[in-house]
Structure 1
């Protein structure tokens, strides 16, 4: 089983490393795990897949292994979004689910993600238990095999999304024009249809399946969405919305600001929930997400809970604190009453409803006027996996007194090292959980300070890895 290592939620690999043999081994590990931890006989598992070239074949292999182990399998009718598959697991009371996807990674990647029976993001104890059970597939006698049936998970998820968003905000989007960009991924025909059903006029962009995603990673950031602001302007649209390859993440594009960063999307939706619906409850945000959330929460006298980076921790925090809205600056969010999985489909409807109540540009202007403007960004510094513990040890042993000339007021170690500075800005250094990189994040209220903070954070990484004493 060499070459299979579980990370966030499951296994991900590039190119020739994603083999049918390994896919089947993962399927067997999940079957063994489910049998040993719950289902003694029978049971049903959902299997879905994204738009990548190898995904449907891999999903069929997983279905074959699971049915050979006695499980009935519900296999999606075509490539579908990860959150829609996850919702089906919870809605139908299934034993679990498997999703073949590499999410926002480049097209040469693929992977298998495990969805527990409660549809929350799989915690490390679960993925470690599955990884420990990796082995070649084995099969029961043919008479004991389960069935494999194709199914469409969309209607149940769409009905739930419409009803849940209506509980918070008016979802009548008539009169609103939205440009939807699927980046050739699995949100096509799903997110756009949901917006149309809510009354919006939808202009579709890159809504044809392309397993190569146009030759780029299907990550909805400013570079990938370079043509979306122009499309919004050309169609005099109220909003642009984009999903990543498996539609668990979302970005929006406003007429004035273009592609909005995840900090401001979080702030705008959270404010809309608190102001327009009168809903109350905490925000759950990752340590890398803006303090603007805290200022909004303070104005409404609700708490904020800070968690490590990774949506499993957001979901855990939402459950522990009865969170109203939770998410991370990378574009993954969920809401009270939904599953603990980031859902770019439901959030598209929620963001559009928030924009219908007050245009995002106007809302962000108002939030800045009330709470102060923020400038935030991130970058990555290459770092071998073996060097990551050395960096952590160096920072523990030698915490800087100043960063970019500003005194360090407090150090937060929820995930990595977050240095809170006297002027209200902050710098976060944390090892990536998925790539050989150190992530450097910064936030400030002064636009001229953002780049120096990011540079200082990157220099601090280099200095500590190199054994220097600089700060």
Structure 2
């Protein structure tokens, strides 16, 4: 059994092997000790949960552990997406928020995400302190009056918050027949009612509870959206939107059946915020994110910063500067002036708003973006690793030093997270070990799709020959 470790976003483990009630209580106590050190014990703790196996029971374990330490606990009265918990932390001026979720991971996983008092993912320095507290012997603490656990409605206020973030005129201009695939996750029951009130014909797909998630991870990647794509291709919907298990990842199926993932949605939404809404400010992106972001920022004179993968790295940058938008290749972007966290629900509504402002289809909007700022084609792949080999793979990747990849010269090397080789023609290849699963991830981007695929193949060859 591996010890609790905070990865890219939170602590995750296999249920009943790594993720147990005892471990949940242990990690919760370490988080509370951190909050005590920060003199935040006088404020409430928000606790939420997703729709995974036993999530509500694990959330009650968190709540009871905190109440026994004297904390007032606001426990969600139903499952909630992670962004709703982040919003509740700010709305209730809480010390922090803990949500029981393993996000997009396979069904056998559960986890805890920690949201700091500003309503965003716990920063690396904070999770490092919590991990150190986990290594200390359990202390006998002075008795405190037991705190109170109260149920709260985390959905209605969050929905009102979403509505306040939008331009209703452009949103209504994009009214159409669409299907929302919530993948049996915690985003069920949020967007469809709101959009139907605005005049859409919005059907919610896979909104029922199913902790097995149809046998695969509740991740809106192209291979998991066959049902949604089929509905669009048969003409039963003109647009498909898909949200992951805890509501912080978004993908779309355009009217032709084409897949539109985060690497396309981030630049589409950034362009909308800048060109239609007049937004200004720094843009934050992870090292694995498309260089379309770089090109849009250069065209509009926006400062750009690149971080390691995981929104927790973006959160520190958000606190340090006036940030317009922050995002990464795997999730919905965050709009810090509304919420310093990723939010698939807000991103979906902003996408519809962008379609209304442009007066065109999603495929046309994508083509226009590529025509103006591209062409760039992104590819991703992954290789399974035995857990005990992850550290060794990191060492092997770091030792690689190719001079050419796919026939292109290596111009520079970026080691912010894994190893990223910057190549001729704005092409690149990134290799890194996942922070949440025993996987080696490969990312590539190039002006031609075939070249991007060739770079992925080059990465796999490099790994096979690495010492």
Equivalent-residue separation in structure 2 for 1:175 and 1:253 (angstroms): 16
Equivalent-residue separation in structure 1 for 2:238 and 2:354 (angstroms): 12
**Against the structure 1 CA distance between its residues 36 and 281, is the aligned structure 2 distance closer, same or farther, given a 3 Å change threshold?**
closer
**Against the structure 1 CA distance between its residues 136 and 110, is the aligned structure 2 distance closer, same or farther, given a 3 Å change threshold?**
farther
**SS at 1:429's partner residue?**
strand
Tell me what 1:21 maps to: 22
Aligned-pair CA distance for 1:207: 1.0
Aligned-pair CA distance for 1:406: 1.5
Aligned-pair CA distance for 1:335: 1.1
Q: Which moved more, 1:270-279 or 1:180-189?
A: 270-279
Q: Please tell me whether the aligned partners of residues 394 and 432 of structure 2 are also in contact (alpha carbons under 8 angstroms).
A: no
**SS at 1:122's partner residue?**
coil
Tell me what 1:73 maps to: 73
Tell me what 1:157 maps to: 158
Aligned-pair CA distance for 1:256: 2.0
Equivalent-residue separation in structure 2 for 1:402 and 1:83 (angstroms): 42
- Among 400, 403, 423, the alignment partner of 1:401 is 403
Q: Please tell me whether the aligned partners of residues 232 and 257 of structure 2 are also in contact (alpha carbons under 8 angstroms).
A: no
Asked whether 1:276 is paired with 2:276, we answer yes
Tell me what 2:396 maps to: 391
Equivalent-residue separation in structure 1 for 2:415 and 2:170 (angstroms): 40
Q: Please tell me whether the aligned partners of residues 195 and 202 of structure 2 are also in contact (alpha carbons under 8 angstroms).
A: yes
Q: Please tell me whether the aligned partners of residues 255 and 362 of structure 2 are also in contact (alpha carbons under 8 angstroms).
A: no
Tell me what 1:374 maps to: 376
Q: Please tell me whether the aligned partners of residues 249 and 332 of structure 1 are also in contact (alpha carbons under 8 angstroms).
A: yes
Aligned-pair CA distance for 1:357: 2.1
Asked whether 1:37 is paired with 2:42, we answer no
**SS at 1:379's partner residue?**
strand
Q: Which moved more, 1:181-190 or 1:111-120?
A: 111-120
Tell me what 1:441 maps to: 443
**SS at 1:110's partner residue?**
strand
Aligned-pair CA distance for 1:94: 0.4
Equivalent-residue separation in structure 1 for 2:24 and 2:197 (angstroms): 37
Q: Please tell me whether the aligned partners of residues 250 and 261 of structure 2 are also in contact (alpha carbons under 8 angstroms).
A: no
Question: Map of 1:83-162 to 2, 5 A cutoff?
Answer: 83-134=83-134, 144-162=145-163
Equivalent-residue separation in structure 2 for 1:178 and 1:306 (angstroms): 34
Equivalent-residue separation in structure 2 for 1:137 and 1:362 (angstroms): 61
Q: Which runs of 5+ in 1 are unaligned?
A: none
Equivalent-residue separation in structure 2 for 1:450 and 1:39 (angstroms): 48
**Against the structure 1 CA distance between its residues 192 and 103, is the aligned structure 2 distance closer, same or farther, given a 3 Å change threshold?**
same
Equivalent-residue separation in structure 2 for 1:110 and 1:3 (angstroms): 14
**SS at 2:231's partner residue?**
helix
Equivalent-residue separation in structure 1 for 2:29 and 2:99 (angstroms): 14
Tell me what 1:415 maps to: 417
Aligned length: 459
**SS at 1:454's partner residue?**
helix
Aligned CA RMSD, in angstroms, stands at 2.2
Equivalent-residue separation in structure 2 for 1:196 and 1:140 (angstroms): 53
Tell me what 1:296 maps to: 296
Aligned-pair CA distance for 1:280: 2.3
Q: Report the TM-score, using the length of structure 2 for normalisation.
A: 0.92
**SS at 2:431's partner residue?**
strand
